[in-house]
C-alpha cells in the first residue's frame, strides 16, 4: 500500500536527493517509531538510544530501500532491530517492566469501579508482559499500538535469511492473547 510519504520519499530517492528523502522519512515516521520504541524499551534513555540508532539506520539504509514493503513497515523493522541492539548490550541486560498503550487498553477492559483495583490489575498486566520476549512484546505493540497488518508485521519481524509468515504470526498473537488472559485470571 503506497502512502503519500512513500511517494514523496520515492520521488526524492529517484531524483538522487538521498539526504532530503531520509530527512522526510525520519521527520514523518518519528512519532510512530518513538511511540513503538518507548513501549518496547520502557526507559526513556533506552528509547532515545534506539531512536538514534534507528535514525542512523534510516539515513544510511534509505538509498537501498527497494520498496518491497511500505516505508512505515520498513522503518518499524529497523526500529525493532535498533531496540534489540540496545537490549543486547551486556551492561543493559536486566529485567525491566514493560508499559505500553496496549497495556493501558487491556487494563481498561478489566476496570472496575475501584481505582485501586484497576491499578493493581495494571501492575499485574505489566508484570506478565515483562516476562515476554522482545519479539512477543513487539508482536503485541505492532498489532495493537501501531495497528499494522499481519503482512506488515511479518516484514518487520523477518530476518535477512528467514521471512516471517503472517499466518504464523497471527496464530502466535492469538495464543499470546489467550496466555495473557489465562495468566491474569489465574492471579485473581
What is the rounded average pLDDT of the residues 115-136? 76
In CATH terms, 97-188 corresponds, of 3.30.70, 1.10.10, 2.40.50, 2.60.40, to 1.10.10
Integer Cα distance of 127 and 130 in angstroms:
5
Q: What angle do CA 97, 32, 28 make, to 5 degrees?
A: 155
Please check the confidence at residue 97 and state whether its pLDDT lies above 60: no
pLDDT at 148 over 60: yes
Q: What is the pLDDT of residue 6?
A: 86
Percent of the chain at pLDDT exceeding 70: 81
- Beta bridge pairs of residue 162: 159
Mean of pLDDT over the chain: 80
pLDDT average, residue stretch 118-134 = 78
What pLDDT band is residue 188 in, cutting at 50, 70 and 90? low
The full set of domain ranges for the chain reads: 1-95, 97-188
Is residue 103 within 8 Å of 69, Cβ to Cβ? no
Q: How far apart are the first and last CA of the chain?
A: 43
Q: What are phi and psi of 159, to 5 degrees?
A: -105, 170
Res 109: pLDDT? 39
C-alpha cell at 41: 524499551
Grid cell at residue 92: 543493559
Pairwise CA distance, residues 53 & 65, whole Å: 17
Q: Residue 95 pLDDT more than 70?
A: no
Amino acid at each position: 500500500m503506497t502512502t503519500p510519504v512513500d511517494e514523496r520519499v520515492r520521488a526524492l530517492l529517484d531524483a538522487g536527493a538521498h539526504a532530503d528523502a531520509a530527512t522526510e522519512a525520519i521527520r514523518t515516521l518519528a512519532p510512530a517509531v518513538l511511540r513503538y520504541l518507548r513501549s518496547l524499551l520502557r526507559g526513556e534513555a533506552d528509547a532515545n538510544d534506539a531512536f538514534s540508532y534507528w535514525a542512523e539506520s534510516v539515513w544510511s539504509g534509505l538509498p537501498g530501500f527497494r520498496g518491497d514493503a511500505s516505508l512505515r513497515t520498513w522503518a518499524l523493522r529497523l526500529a525493532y532491530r535498533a531496540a534489540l541492539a540496545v537490549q543486547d548490550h551486556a551492561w543493559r541486560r536486566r529485567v525491566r517492566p514493560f508499559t505500553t498503550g496496549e497495556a493501558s487498553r487491556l487494563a481498561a477492559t478489566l476496570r472496575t469501579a475501584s481505582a485501586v483495583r484497576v491499578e493493581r490489575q495494571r501492575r499485574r498486566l505489566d508484570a506478565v508482559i515483562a516476562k515476554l520476549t522482545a519479539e512477543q512484546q513487539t508482536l503485541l505493540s505492532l498489532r495493537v499500538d501501531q495497528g499494522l497488518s499481519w503482512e506488515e508485521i511479518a516484514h518487520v519481524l523477518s530476518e535477512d535469511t528467514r521471512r516471517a509468515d503472517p499466518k504464523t504470526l497471527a496464530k502466535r498473537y492469538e495464543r499470546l492473547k489467550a496466555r495473557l488472559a489465562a495468566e491474569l485470571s489465574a492471579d485473581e
